[in-house]
Chains A and B, each alone.
Chain A
Amino acid sequence: MRLEIKGLTKRFGAFTANDSIDLTIEPGEIHCLLGENGAGKSTLMNMLYGLLEPTEGQILVDGEPVTFTSPSDAIDSGIGMVHQHFMLVPVFTVAENVMLGRERTRGLGVLNRKQAADTVRELSTRYGLSVDPHALVEDLPVGVQQRVEILKALSHDAKVLILDEPTAVLTPQEIDELMEIMRELKRRGTSIIFITHKLREVKAVGDSITVIRRGKVVGTVSPQASEAELAEMMVGRAVRLVVDKEPAQVGADVLSVKNLTVVDPRGHQAVKDVSFEARGGEVLGIAGVQGNGQTELIKALMGLIRPDAGVVALDGEDISRHGAREALDAGIGYVPEDRSHDGFVGAFSVRENLVLDLYRSDDFSRGLGLKLDAMADNARSRIEEFDIRTEGPETPVRALSGGNQQKVVVAREFSRPLKVLIAAQPTRGVDVGSIEFIHKRIIHERDQGTAVIIVSTELDEIYALSDRIAVMYDGRIVGVVSPDIAREDIGLMMAGASDEAEVNP
């Protein structure tokens, strides 16, 4: 199926989200749609999927103009979409989720589960997507849940599959698996529109790349284009993909962790006897595949989980029994891993979120009363300083793009003197321009003498920022290495295949 978009425009009042976009998806092609968060990719896809009505322009399927007033029109025309946030019912099985909305019944309204399971099995063998049709979705890892979404689309005979930021939630391994699936789908003749802002992925899997900026197509290029070229097209200016940094001026141990053990609510030891030091003026990167204890480790450092054993000492004082309030007051800055869950209050304005953990300070309150003017001044200067793209200080943070939401969190945490900065996945789901900015600020903080701990599942990020790298596997630190170690070696350590290595640069 050949999908053409001609002069598609979408306006919200005076604001033009998509400005006469032209795009052609050839049959059996992986077409990457590259653009920063907020460039208009989602608006375009929502029109293509019948969720939004175009203001102007045409969509053509195999040369025939079509109008979609609802997703079911789009599905009938052979368009499938996997949203960034999955639309699955957690307590249903895979087969039930796949048949959801088009339940087949045997007489008397009895659901034909067997047929649904057969469909799932048939599709998963055909496309090499291994999924157990009877597993409950809530028990499945994120990567597999995504496969269920893909299966759901395929079961509707999708000829063009839209994948909206599919890699944002995946581990490096799962990303590799997804790319394999995409290639397999392509071999079977399914076209894919792959929306992302990660240059590496685009180059790895794309057949052609269309870059969108501020609602307009900047150009369509081949995957041979260099990352720097693509980044420049996306952002509209030359972007430095490597973080500029001087060698670290390493100071004294600021935070020292000894024999820390954390037991999660299910009684499983998530962090096992971990010891390390974070030193002033240095970035310690904690690498590891998601779910190997990093989350619990930093929550324990922040006083959000009570450790079972061990000592966390800040400037020699044990803070392992402190709560979050004390940890923050002691001078630890924290950028949580899941920003919308832990990092900000979506319904709150930018102004309010920028003081979410500072409102009790004398700067922003007097007695019980909040100093609204001080909060507003603070918001204006942070918005300026951190280049937060928002309508104004009163815009709710949930209305911002992911990158700008993260900038709000970062701006807040960086707006007071810190001894230690703990940043988990500081650039997950953040666009290239913002990544560059956030990285720069982290290094700036390091250069002020702050001890910085970065937790990331993205090796690129670990390499770009760290002065030392600790690798976590199965709740333990399996080695502390210098950043000049080869990618493959760290990969092996992350997979738990390496001997304990202690390399002190």
Chain B
Amino acid sequence: MKMQGILQLRSISLSFGSEPIIQGLNLTVQPGEIVALMGPSGCGKSTFLSALCGLIPEQFQFSGEVLLGQQNLTQLPLAKRQVGMLFQEDLLFPHMSVKGNLAFALPQGLSRHERHHQVMALLDEVRMTALADRDPATLSGGQKARISLLRTLLAKPQLLLLDEPFSKLDQVTRSQFRQLVWSYITRYQLPTLLVTHDSADIPGHCSQVIQLPYLGSTLC
């Protein structure tokens, strides 16, 4: 398996109008390492993740550099950043079957047969082949979350951003799904940023926890 790059954030600042959210954040995330960002809802956690994808909403100001391995992401468009992201909602495309959703994440230029084969192999690995032709709306919450995760990983991202992906799940599925996510992060050695407001979401092996708003202490 190809070794993933290190994520480096250099003097990142984010503010809403004149109100600073993050000032001068410097951060290094190793492959397979998880860094958590915590803070009350509405403090700008999700906006920070979007900003790392290059999507800065109006009235927000963002500055600083984002480096991933050898690559400087700061000026790259979203499509070229090779970022994977999971949200609170599964965001499965409602007009495609489970198979279609997964196939969408496959690279261009595969034949129909190859697509089918790869998707089915993946589903087989997690013992979910029976769901292949299902309408995503008919899946259970846990199933949806897992398909969403698989879809993200299938696109072979270099960096994983998690925007409270567990908050909509019930207790039991939540802890199961957490374990699955952590295992995949370790397996694919993805540098990961996790945003949450629930300290229970933060895994034991998480190396750093950053509180938002972050106004320039010397964490690094």
Please determine whether chains A and B interact with each other in the same assembly: no
A interface, CB within 8 angstroms of B: none
B interface, CB within 8 angstroms of A: none
